[in-house]
Amino acid sequence: MPRTLLLKNADMLVTMDGNRREIKGGGLFAENGIIKSVGPSDGLPGTADKVIDARGQIVLPGFVNTHHHLNQTLTRNLPAAQNINLFPWLTAHYGIWARTSPEASRTSTLIGLAELALSGCTAVFDHTYLYQNGNSVDVQIEAARELGVRFHASRGSMSLGQSKGGLPPDECVEDEDAILADTIRVIDRYHDASDGAMTRIVVAPCSPFSVSEDLLRESAALARDKGVMLHTHLCETLDEERYTLERFGKRPVEWMESLDWTGPDVWFAHAIHVDDDEIRLFAKTGCGAAHCPCSNMRLASGIAPVKKYMKAGVRVGLGVDGSASNDGSNMLMEVRQAMLLARLQLGLMPPEGPRKHALLPVTHPLRANEWMTAREALELATIGGASVLGRNDIGSLETGKCADFFTLDLNSLQFAGGLHDPVAAVVFCAPQQVRTTVIHGKAIVEEGQITTMDMEPVIAEHNRHSHALVKDL
């Protein structure tokens, strides 16, 4: 990695700092991966070990992906799972995922992370929860280091098989003592709590319908003892809500609160089916939410109340979710969908609130603060995601923060005619591949290509693993 880095002459540099500065002709100077100065290019040092001339480009803070399942790149677009919602979709995949080998896990992690980097993503949380067939967190962490992506890895888990009332087959779950022991091992070996950390560990039981109450309690206690964050799926579908009501007599949020799963160290994936009291609870206790718009649409799960969350002060970030429930790993696309889906939700809801036929469109005037704006969507992907992951060292371009950023070519076909507001064009116009992605001062994408490894043999190997996993279906 070059010791010093200079980016200069950007047509526009979006800081996402406290004043939301957008600097024409802007640039930044970094040393050892940390930003030392941001501002007009003529006020920055003139030389550096690595110089990026961003003339004709827009520069943004690196996107933060708050929920993904990278191993699912192996099972994208399965014919049997194209037109079903979450529970049958999971049932169609569990047995396949359990056969994932360490070699397949490595290539799927590289493929997903490379896709993300090519869409401006610099920090990724991955939620893996099946560890049969020799697969392990270690394989994914090493792959992320090899590629150069900032990585929050989960030691996820499933312990509640079908014989005990859970959704996954018994052969896909693990012994709870073994889960907790391996979680301790992974945290002790890999977790880095320091500023600028490239690797952190999250304790992440899978879901209310795949782990026991005991494991949820023990996981929360372990995470707090080790000083790491907690994550799980919650309120993704009405099927899940019915499950917790029938099994525990409580809605999902109330049930999780009773298990000590609220607080600023907790964030939930999806968080769609919540009421106003539950939103207030999230805000009061500091819980975060990972909004996954593409996956929620693909599986017909519903629309998360993101604008309500934002208004209430709930921390919200964006997540790509599984590459088999999204079939892509593109954060620029996720940002755009987040904005559009929030607008659709608003258009379906009259100002006075829900009505009997809420899915029938209505025409009514919308106040300016009700719209999800392009800049708000970009905030979710940057400072919002950083906050959800509990980090104050990424998510914006300002002195003292990590040099994580990406650039887009403003002279591209996708932006033609849309440069009246180049910042909004990033969201309103069709997503394009990045020109450059820098993580901790190191360029891992240049001229639209991954620089840290040759991806062609990785793609070929990944496709061989993918075909082998599903060949008998």
Decide if 233 contacts 264 (C-beta within 8 A): no
Asked if residue 368 has pLDDT above 90, the reply is: no
- Kindly state the tokens that stand for 33: 């991966």
Question: What number is the average pLDDT over the span 77-92?
Answer: 95
pLDDT, tens only, 222-281: 999 999 999 999 999 999 999 999 999 999 999 999 999 999 999 999 999 999 999 999
Asked if residue 349 has pLDDT above 90, the reply is: no
Rounded to the nearest integer, the mean pLDDT of the chain is 95
Asked if residue 21 has pLDDT above 90, the reply is: yes
Query: In terms of Cα–Cα distance, which of 292, 271, 295 is closest to 283?
Result: 271
DSSP state of 380: I
Q: What is the pLDDT of residue 346?
A: 84
| 15 to 45, 195, 309, 315: CA distances (angstroms) | 19, 19, 23, 19
Long-range contacts: 183-192, Cβ < 8 Å, 24+? 183/155, 183/157, 183/219, 183/222, 184/222, 184/226, 186/137, 186/138, 186/153, 186/155, 187/155, 187/226, 187/228, 189/138, 190/137, 190/138, 190/141, 190/153, 191/226, 191/228
Question: What number is the average pLDDT over the span 139-159?
Answer: 98
pLDDT, tens only, 383-422: 999 999 999 999 999 999 999 999 999 999 999 999 999 9
Count CB neighbours of 387 within 10 A: 21
Count CB neighbours of 256 within 10 A: 23
Query: In terms of Cα–Cα distance, which of 255, 335, 297 is closest to 66?
Result: 335
Question: What number is the average pLDDT over the span 123-151?
Answer: 97
Q: What is the pLDDT of residue 365?
A: 57
Q: How confident is the model at residue 471 (pLDDT cuts 50, 70, 90)?
A: confident
Q: What is the pLDDT of residue 6?
A: 98
Q: What is the pLDDT of residue 370?
A: 84
Asked if residue 364 has pLDDT above 60, the reply is: no
165 half-sphere exposure, CB direction, 13 A CA radius: 10
Decide if 144 contacts 113 (C-beta within 8 A): yes
Asked if residue 179 has pLDDT above 90, the reply is: yes
Q: What is the pLDDT of residue 348?
A: 77
Encoded amino acid at 429, one letter = C
pLDDT, tens only, 43-64: 999 999 999 999 999 999 999 9
Asked if residue 381 has pLDDT above 70, the reply is: yes
Q: List 135's β-bridge partners, or say none.
A: none
Question: What number is the average pLDDT over the span 363-379?
Answer: 81
Q: How confident is the model at residue 220 (pLDDT cuts 50, 70, 90)?
A: very high
Q: What is the pLDDT of residue 401?
A: 98
Asked if residue 150 has pLDDT above 60, the reply is: yes
The residue ranges of DSSP E strands in 73-211, in sequence order, are 121-126, 150-157, 199-205
Decide if 38 contacts 22 (C-beta within 8 A): no
CATH topology classification for 66-388 = TIM Barrel (3.20.20)
Q: Domain-by-domain residue ranges, the chain?
A: 4-62+394-450, 66-388
Give per-residue burial for 203-226: e unless 16+ CB within 10 Å, then b: bbbbbbbbbbeebbebbbebbeeb
pTM reported for the whole predicted model: 0.95
Q: How confident is the model at residue 472 (pLDDT cuts 50, 70, 90)?
A: low
pLDDT, tens only, 308-346: 999 999 999 999 998 899 999 999 999 999 999 999 998
pLDDT, tens only, 195-219: 999 999 999 999 999 999 999 999 9
Decide if 412 contacts 362 (C-beta within 8 A): no
CATH of 4-62+394-450, one of 1.10.10.10, 2.30.40.10, 3.30.1700.10, 2.60.40.1220: 2.30.40.10
DSSP state of 408: E
Q: What is the pLDDT of residue 367?
A: 66
In percent, the amount of the chain with pLDDT more than 70 equals 95
Question: What number is the average pLDDT over the span 353-360?
Answer: 51
Asked if residue 102 has pLDDT above 80, the reply is: yes
